Structure 1
Amino acid sequence: MMIKRLLLLLITSTFLQVQAQEATNITFSTPKNGEGLHAFFKRNGLHSDELRAQFLKLNQSNLGKNNSLLMGVKYLIPETSTILHEPLYGKERAHFELESNTLKGAVFHLVSGHGGPDPGALGKYGNKTLSEDEYAYDITLRLAKKLQENGATVHMIIEDKNDGIRDHSYLESDKDETCMGQAIPLKQIDRLQQRTDAVNKLYLQFKGSYQRCVVIHVDSRSRGKEIDVFFYHAPKSKSGKAAAQSILQVFDKKYKEHQPSRGYSGIVNSRNLYLLRKTYPTAVFVELGNIRNYRDQQRFIIQNNRQALANWMYEGLLNDFNTQKQKKLN
C-alpha cells in the first residue's frame, strides 16, 4: 500500500512538472473594475477573431453569463502574434499579423508608376477606362503588405491615403496620389527626380542593409499585342540583373505549375531608364502587361490575379535576399 502511495505521488509530481513546463508561455490577466470583454481583449492584444475564440475556449469554465468577465479571476491569455499597423492598406487590412521574420534586415523601396496628375497608360474594358496608376498601385500595395508580413522594412514611395487595397475589378481613377506626402509634379522629369530623391534619401538611412527598389508599371501596346510580365535592370548592374532573373524564374515556375500548356515568354533586359540609372539601391523595373489587350487585362481586373502577381514578385525577391545572404556567409 505504501509503495502504491509513493508511486501515485511520483506520478502526480511528474504530471505537475510537465504541466508547469507546458504552461511557461501562458500569461494571465485579471479584469479591471468595470472592464468589459471588448476592452479586456483590446488591453491584452487579442485583436483577431481567432485569438478571441481561443480565449473563450481556454476560459469557458470561469466566465459568467453571455461570456461576461468575473472580477478577481485570473484569465488565461493565449499567445499573441505581433500585430502590425499600416493605414495605407485600407481600414479592413490596416492591422495584420507578422507571419515570419524571414526578411528581417531587408529594406524595400516600392515605386508604383505615374499617379497624381498623370494616370499613365489607359485601356478600355467595356465601357470602363482602366488607368495604369490605379492597378500598378494596388499590386504594389499587395506586394508591400506581403513583404512586411515577413519581416521586411517597406517604403511606399507613391501613396494614396484613401484607396487602400481594393478587391473590386474596376479601380476608379483619381489624382490624389502623393510622393511620400508631397504633391506629384506634372512634368515627367520632375516626377522622376522627386521619386529618385525620395528613394536615395531613404537608402542612406539604411546603408549597409540589403536594399532593393522595385518600380511597377503597366505597359501600353496595340490591343492585339499580348505580353507576359517582363523586367528591366540598369545597364552593368549585376545585382539588378540577378534580382530581376530571380523574380522571372518564379513566374516561369508558376506558369508551368498552373498553366503548363500556355508557356511563359517574359524576359529580363537592361535599359537605361531614369529610375534604374539614378537610384542608389539595386533596382528592378517590372512591366505587368498590356493594359489595352483583353487577355492581359484579366491579369489586372481580377483581384486574385493581382494578388498572385504580388505573391510571385514577393517570392522572387525572397529568393534574391536569401541568395545574397548566402553569398555573405560564404
Structure 2
Amino acid sequence: MVNNKGLISLFIFSIFLNSNLGAQEFHKVEPNQTLYSIARLYQITLADLMSWNTLKDARIRPGQVLVIKPAFNLNLGSVGDTYVVQNGDTLESLAARFSLPKEDLVEFNNLSTDKLTSGQRLAVRRPRPVEIYTVQAGDSLLGLSGRYSLSLEELRIINQLNGDSLQVGQSLRVTRPSNPPLTHKVENMDSLTGLALLYGMDKSALVRINNLSGETIYPGQVLKLKEYASADLRVGLPPVINSQPTIAPPTPAPASTHQVVTGDTLYGLSRKYSIPVADLIKWNNLHSNTLKVGQFLNLKKDDVISVAPPVVTTPAPVRSQTTPVETLPAARPRANGENLTWEPFVVLDKDIPLFEWNNDFYYWTHPGQTTQPNRGYYENQWNSPLASYQKAKKLWEGFETLLEKRTPKSTQLKGITIVLDPGHGGLDPGAIVKSTDGLGDTLYITEDEYVYDIALRMVPLLKEHGAQVQLTILSPNHLVRDTTPASRTLIHEKNEIYNSLAKNRTNALEDWPVGGTRGLERRAEVAQELFTHLGGEQVFISLHADNSPGTPRAAGVLFQESTGSKEVTASRFAQILADNLGPGAYTKPRDLGVLRNNGAPNKVLVEVRNVAYQEHAWALRFANSRQMDAQNLVNGILAFYKTR
C-alpha cells in the first residue's frame, strides 16, 4: 500500500525542483534517524516538524523526504527568516510570536516607526552572510545539506553542480544572505537560476533589472540586484580562466601546523582551530589577510616551521603572459626609526555577521564591487541613519574592547582627549580622483574612505600612550582595511554616520553627514559633545586628502585664524605636527567652518595627502603609507606634549 504521507512529502519536493525561489528546505531521512533527532539537528520543535509534514505520529522511514522549513506563503506569512504582516499584527505581538526582543525587530528591519502595514515583509531572524565552505575528506553533499539547513537541490543550484560528487578542496556556498548586496560579480559557477535562488529573487527580475536579452551571463560581469544600484555594467572584467594552481606534493607538516588549501581564509582557520585571527597573523609574521595555497601556518605560539613549503605554479593572468608586480611607492621618512607594523583588529561577536571580502574584514554587510569602477559609482545599503549608528556603535565598542587588552607604552597622553574627524563621509565622498596603478590601469580613489582608514590607524597608536580617542563619524561595516592588492580601490559607500545618538535620533535623511557649512557645523557639535562627555584636555584633528592642484606637493596643517594667544598656541601645535609629516610639509592660518566654532584649544585640519598629484594618490592606496601617515601624526602629537 502506498504511504500517502510519503507521497505528500515527495510532491512538495517536486514542486521545489521546479521553483526558482527555493523557499522550502528539506531533509532526506537516513538510517537510524528519528523525528526527534532531526528536530534537534535543525533546531526546530517536534510539533512543527510533524505539522509541516502532516504526520500523525513520529514514525518515519529511511529515504523519506521531510520539510524542515516550510514554503513562504504571502497569505499566511512565514516561519522562516521573514514574515508578511497580517491585519492586527503589532511589533509587540510579533516579538512575542518569534521570541524576539522588540528592539531586534526594529534593528533587523531598520524601522523608524512602530506602525506596520498589512503585506509588509519583515525579517524575523538576524541577517546572515553567504558562507563559503571548503570540502574536506569524508564530506558528502547530503551531509552538508543537513549541516547548513539547505536542501540538496538548493546546494546544487547555487553552486551549479551537475551531480552530488565532491572534491577535497572544492569551495561551496553553504548559506544564502538574508541582506543581499546591491551587486554581484559573476563567478564561473554562476547562472541566473542559481543567483535568483542565492539572493531570494525571481529570475525574471534579474533579467529586467540588468536589461538582459536572455539568460547568458559571463564571469566578471557585474549584475545589479536592486533597481537603485548604481553599478556600471560596462565596467566588466575579462572572463576568468577556470583553472586551479598546480601544487607539488607537499612534505607532511607537523601536527602543530596547517597547510593552506584552496578556499582557506584566516577567519575560517581561526574558527576551525579556535585561535584568534590576531594570533595567527602574529605567530606567522603575516602582513595582510592574504594566504597562499600550499603555505604552512603555525598553530601554536613560538613554533618554528621546519618544513619547506611546496612549489606553487599558477597559470598566467588573462591579460598578459607575464604580469609586473605593482610595488609600494617610497614612503615618507619614519620618525624616530619606529618599526612599521600594526595589528589586524578583528571583532569576533556572535551577534555581528563577519565577512572576509576582498582580503579585508567587513561586518553586517560588504560592498558589492571589489574596486571603485568610476567617479559616479556608489553603494548605499543603509537606509536608516539610526540603525547605521546602532550597528556602528556596537562595532566601535568591540574595537575599543580589543584595544583595552593591549599593553600600554606610556602615560604621556593621559588626561588628553583627542577627537579625530575623518573628512567627508556619509553622503559626501570628498574628492574622487582618476589615477593609474603601476601597471598603467585606470583606477579611482575616494577620499573619505582612505582618510577614515588613517584615523582608525591612529586610534591604537594614541591609546597606547594613555589618550582617550573618539571619532566624529563612524562606519558600521569595517575597521582598519589593508587594501591588498592596492589596485583594488575602496568602494564609495554612503554609510558613515555622526558619532552621536542625538544627531541620528530623528532617523531622517538630514541626519546623514553632508558637506557644506551645516555639515561642518554638525561635526564641531559632535566633537563638543564628545569632549563634554569625556573631559580632559581637548585636541581636535580633522583629516583630509583633497584634490588641490594649486597647493604644494606635501602635507599641509591648517589652523584657525584668530588673534592673540589662541593663534600662537594653534600655530605652534600646527608647526610641530608639520615637522613630523615629511619634507615640504607646511602650515597656514585659515578660516574653516569645522574649526571656527570648535572649542578645543588645539585644533587643526591636516591635508595628509594631496591627491591632485599622482605620487600622493599612488601612496594613499597602500596600507603601509597610511600606517606611516598615522604614525607620523601621532609622533607629532607626542612631540607637542613633550615640549610643553
Cα distance in 2 for partners of 1:272, 1:175 equals 28
More strand by share: 1
Matches within 5 A, 1:215-254: 215-222=542-549, 227-236=553-562, 237-252=567-582
Q: Secondary structure at the match of 1:97?
A: coil
Q: Of 614, 626, 633, which residue of structure 2 is paired with 1:306?
A: 626
**Count of residue pairs the alignment pairs up:** 242
User: CA separation in 2, counterparts of 1:149 and 1:53?
Assistant: 26
Match status 1:145 vs 2:460: yes
Gap runs ≥5 in structure 1: 1-37, 57-82, 253-263, 325-330
One-letter amino acid of the counterpart of residue 106, structure 1: I
Name 1:214's counterpart in structure 2.
541
What is the TM-score of this pair, normalised by structure 1? 0.65
Task: Report the Cα distance in structure 1 between the residues aligned to 2:528 and 2:476, rounded to whole angstroms.
Answer: 23
Task: State the SS of the aligned residue for 2:608.
Answer: strand
Shift of 1:234: 1.1
Please state whether the residue corresponding to 1:129 is helix, strand or coil.
strand
2:610 to 290, 303, 326: 290
- TM-score normalised by length of structure 2: 0.34
Alpha-carbon deviation of 1:299?
2.5
| Residue 226 of structure 1: how far off its partner (Å) | 6.2
Task: Describe the shift of the 1:121–1:90 C-alpha distance in structure 2 as closer, same or farther (beyond 3 A).
Answer: farther
Distance 1:279 1:211 in 2: 10
1:110 aligns with one of 404, 420, 445? 420
CA pair 201-54 structure 1, distance change in 2 beyond 3 A: same
In structure 2, distance between residues paired with 1:88 and 1:206: 16
CA contact (8 A) 1:226 1:295 kept: no
Alignment partner, residue 100 of structure 1: 409
Q: Aligned to 1:216, what secondary structure does the other structure show?
A: strand
Question: 2: CA distance between counterparts of 1:231 and 1:179?
Answer: 24
Task: Report the counterpart of residue 480 of structure 2 in structure 1.
Answer: 165
Deviation at 1:221, TM superposition (A): 2.7
Secondary structure of the structure 2 residue equivalent to 1:186 = coil
Code of the residue aligned with 1:287 in structure 2: it is E
Structure showing greater radius of gyration is 2
In the alignment, what sits opposite 1:13? none
- Contact 2:424–2:515 (CA under 8 A) maintained in structure 1: no
User: Helix, strand or coil for the counterpart of 1:117?
Assistant: coil
Distance in 2 of aligned mates of 1:118 and 1:322: 37
Q: Structure 2: how far apart are the matches of 1:300 and 1:278? A: 30
Whether contact under 8 Å (2:453, 2:480) holds in the other structure is yes
Task: Indicate if the aligned counterparts of 2:524 and 2:595 stay in contact, CA closer than 8 A.
Answer: no
Task: Give the structure, 1 or 2, with the largest relative contact order (CA under 8 Å, sep 6 or more).
Answer: 1
Secondary structure at 1:319's aligned position in 2? helix
Maintained 8 Å contact 1:89/1:164 = no
For residue 314 of structure 1, give the secondary structure of its aligned residue in structure 2.
helix
Percent of residue pairs bearing the same amino acid type: 25
By percentage of residues, which structure has more helix? 1
RMSD: 3.3
Equivalent in the alignment of 2:597: 278
Matches within 5 A, 1:32-43: none
Quick one: structure 1 residues 283 and 84, their matched pair in 2 at CA, closer, same or farther if it must change by over 3 Å?
farther
- Contact 2:482-2:623 at 8 Å conserved across structures: yes
Instruction: Specify the SS of the correspondent of 1:203.
Output: helix
Whether contact under 8 Å (2:541, 2:606) holds in the other structure is: yes
Q: Aligned partners of 1:216 and 1:283: how far apart in 2?
A: 11
1:76: which partner in 2? none
CA distance in 1, matches of 2:572, 2:453: 25
Measure, in 1, the Cα distance between the counterparts of 2:590 and 2:448. Answer: 21
Distance across 2 between alignment mates of 1:184 and 1:302: 28
Counterpart residue number, 1:66:
none
Deviations 1:229-267 (A, max 9, x none): 010111232222121111111224xxxxxxxxxxx2121
User: What is the SS of the residue equivalent to 1:125?
Assistant: strand
